[in-house]
Structure formats: C-alpha cells, structure tokens
Amino acid sequence: MNQQKLLDRARHVMPAAGIGNFDPDVIIREGRGSRVWDEDNNEYIDYLIGSGPMILGHGHPEVIAAVTEQLGKGMTFFAQNAHGIELAEEICRVVPCAEQVRYVSTGTEADMYAMRLARAFTNRDKIMKFEGGYHGMSSEAQMSLAPENLVNFPVAIADSAGIPESVRGEILVAPYNDIDFVRALLLEHGSQIAAIIVEPLQRIIPPAPGFLEALREECTKHGVILIFDEVVTGFRVAYGGAQSLYGVTPDMCTLGKLIGGGLPLAAIAGKADIMAHFDKEKIGASGFVMQIGTLSGNPLAAVAGLKTLEILRRPGQYEKLQGIGETLMQGIRHRLESAGHEVQIVGHPTLFDVVFTDSSVKNYRDWLRGTRNKAADFHAYLKKKRILKGLGKFYISLALTDDDISQTLDIVADAANNIRQQ
C-alpha cells in the first residue's frame, strides 16, 4: 500500500499521525533478519530492531516455530501457564537479584510496580532517580527524563503535561555518576527515601568505575532499596544482565524487551522478602501491593522469550554480538574523526551512539552539551540512506552481516563529509 496514502489516513485517526514511538512517516511493512521494508518497498538496515527486543533479528525461524506451535494451543488465558513458570525459573537462575519474578506487559509497568514495592517494603515515600534516566511513562518516571530547563539538583522537572505537582515533592534528582551528590542527598533525606532507581548503563552512558558499587553500599547503609532498570540491558549486555556484567547486585530489577522475544512482556524480579508484598496471604492486607494484568505472563510471549534466551545461551552468541558492535563503534569513530569531527562513541558494544563533542560523557548534561544539530543532521542523513536507527542509539543484533556492516560504514563516511560541508 502506498505509504503517503497511509500517512494521510493516519492523520485523521491518530494524534500526530502516529503511534507515539518512531518517526510516523516511516511505516514498516515487514522485517527479515537485519533488514526491514517500508510500505513503499524501501529497504533499510535495521539498528532500531523494535527498540531493542529483536536481538536475533526479525523472523528468526526457531522463534517463529515456537510461537506458531503455541498459537495452536492458545494465545492468552488470564491464568497460570507452564511457559510463564519456566521463564521465571530461568530468570531466577541467572539474574543475581532474582529470587522471585512477577510479570507485567511493559517496562513502564515494571518500573512503576518496582517503585511501589519499594515504598510498601520500606514505608517511605520518596524516590531518587538520575537526571536523564528513562524509566517508562509513569508520573514518577516522567520527572527529569529529558529536561531542557536545567534547574538545580535535586529539584525534579515534569517532562509531560498532566502530572500532579504533588509528584514533584516525592522525587529527588541526582546527576548520574556523581556518588558524592548521592551521599549528600542520602545524609539529608535517607530516612525518607524508599528507593534509588537507576539504569546501570544510563541510556548509552556507562557507569564510572566504582559508581554502582558505591550506590550498593550507600543503599545498604541507609536502608534504601536499590532498583536496577534492566529493561534495556537485561540479557543484552550479558546473559545475566548489567548486574552480572558489572558484578553489583541490586535488591530489585526490572526486565523487558528481550524476555518477550518481540512480544509484550516485562517483569519485576527481586529478593523474596520484597516480592512478598505481592502475596496478600503472606504479607497481610496492610502491606499488599495489588497487581493484575490481562496479558501478564501470557504463554505466547513466554515461549518467544524462552526460545530467544535458549538461542542466546548457545556458545559464541555474546562474543559475536560484541564483536559486531566493536567493529561498528571503531569504524564509525574512524570515519567521523577522519572527516574532522570531534566525537565520542558512547555506550556498550551492544548499544551505543555518536555524541558530537570533544569531552567525555558521564551524565545527561554532558550529553546535552554535545552538538545536537550536527547529531540531528547525522541521524537524518543515515535515514535518507536507509539506515534505520533511533535518535538515541544503535541497537546491535545477531542478524547483522558483514555486508550490513560494510554498507553502514560506507554510509557513515558519506554522512561525515556531508555534515562537515553544511
């Protein structure tokens, strides 16, 4: 179907003519392996990969076979199923903090419930987060997610209309990778803080040496629950997630994306005494956290997740994934620097992006000081040449081929010369 006609139809029935995610003017028809095609049959190398979950590429035959088999048995039941139990067992086996698991459908829900559990467990109300950290779409998460107005820490700024002013008072904001500021906040407010929620790798920004370890120590000292948001990093940066990679165990973590194999599935995982607040019989009515979701832990997503994790466990998969990412990171840096651009390639080989700056990037404000108009030009040029990526990162998949990498680097070289001349 003609893409422009579809866009015209979308404008009548969808706000901003889209679903609220990626550029609405790109309407994807299908994906196979490392490539996707839009409704005008334009072919793209895909570094968006569904915003991360398609780590095996699109239409992996083993995942398709598993989902197809389950389709014949039922899609969802609003009841317990064996595949959901099996997936929870695997998560508890390999994710360090996971003694028990509770399913939801989205990362937003997982983060919201993790914060609610921390409040129930500690009988405290305040949450500390880090400026620029992404934790979904709840009111708490939408505080200082991507502020343009940079106020003094620890004041929170709402990034969305419709958030009650009262939410601001329950959120404390710190700069990522600044443990001294965290310590100062805990000394002043520690008895009121239920949890610190953090992306162990914040968007694309890695933790400074010792930062996560110090967070763990300070949370233990002040009786604060440490939550790792691993919706992105879980089973991507390592099989056991970022907590396995960095050797720091939180009290809870949230998972999503990969565990559903491309279908809607997310989870809260944590220590049994915290997770007990989902069990009314065990914890009592006063401490009970109600959680119900129509599609939570449905068997279709569970089998897709189980098969995805099974494939990721095979020898050499993470080595291959990291090797692809390292080749791209080095190649992109070389081509941009050779054209005279000052850049930082920020992130991990499995997810990273280009920041146009000559300074190191340790937090959101460092990222913000990068040359964003040049970054936008770079992104637009890649899109024009049929490289599909989000504004914030390259997601690496196992489906990428040597030809994909070579073609990508050629386009990056062209982009480097193109944006230099502007």
Question: Which tens digits make up the pLDDT trace of 52-79?
Answer: 999 999 999 999 999 999 999 999 999 9
In the predicted structure, residue 330 carries a pLDDT above the cut 60: yes
234 neighbors 244 (Cβ within 8 angstroms): no
Taking every pair of Cα atoms in the chain, the longest distance, rounded to a whole number of angstroms, is 67
For 30-39, the CB contacts below 8 A with 24+ separation are 30/58, 31/57, 31/58, 31/59, 32/57, 32/58, 32/59, 33/57, 33/58, 33/59, 33/399, 33/401, 34/58, 34/397, 34/399, 34/400, 34/401, 34/404, 36/388, 38/3, 39/1, 39/2, 39/3, 39/6
pLDDT band (50, 70, 90) for residue 320: very high
Give me the mean pLDDT over the 326-337 stretch: 98
Residue 195's SS3 state is strand
In the predicted structure, residue 341 carries a pLDDT above the cut 70: yes
**Model confidence pTM above 0.85:** yes
Q: Which of 111, 113, 251, 257 is catalytic?
A: 257
The CA distance from 268 to 111, in Å, is 8
Give me the mean pLDDT over the 291-296 stretch: 94
Instruction: Name the percent of the chain lying above pLDDT 90.
Output: 91
Question: Which tens digits make up the pLDDT trace of 85-124?
Answer: 999 999 999 999 999 999 999 999 999 999 999 999 999 9
299 neighbors 77 (Cβ within 8 angstroms): yes
The CA distance from 346 to 357, in Å, is 11
Which pLDDT does position 22 carry in this prediction? 81
In the predicted structure, residue 132 carries a pLDDT above the cut 90: yes
Q: Which domains does the chain have, with CATH numbers?
A: 3-60+315-421 (3.90.1150.10), 74-312 (3.40.640.10)
The CA distance from 138 to 127, in Å, is 13
> How many other C-beta atoms are found inside a 10 Å radius of the C-beta of residue 268?
29
The CA distance from 92 to 268, in Å, is 11
Q: Which of 38, 46, 111, 229 is catalytic?
A: 229
- Check if 364 is active-site: no
In the predicted structure, residue 420 carries a pLDDT above the cut 80: no
Closest alpha carbon to 173 in 136, 148, 198, 209: 198
Instruction: Name the percent of the chain lying above pLDDT 70.
Output: 99
C-alpha distances out from residue 416 to 36, 76, 280, 342, 351, Å = 24, 48, 58, 11, 21
Closest alpha carbon to 196 in 253, 237, 262: 253
347 strand-pairing partners: 352
- Check if 404 is active-site: no
Alpha helices of 14-160 — where are they, by DSSP H? 61-71, 82-94, 107-122
- Check if 374 is active-site: no
176 neighbors 144 (Cβ within 8 angstroms): no
Which pLDDT does position 108 carry in this prediction? 97
Amino acid identity of residue 241, one-letter, is: G
The CA distance from 136 to 112, in Å, is 8
Q: Which of 103, 113, 134, 318 is catalytic?
A: 134
Which pLDDT does position 411 carry in this prediction? 98
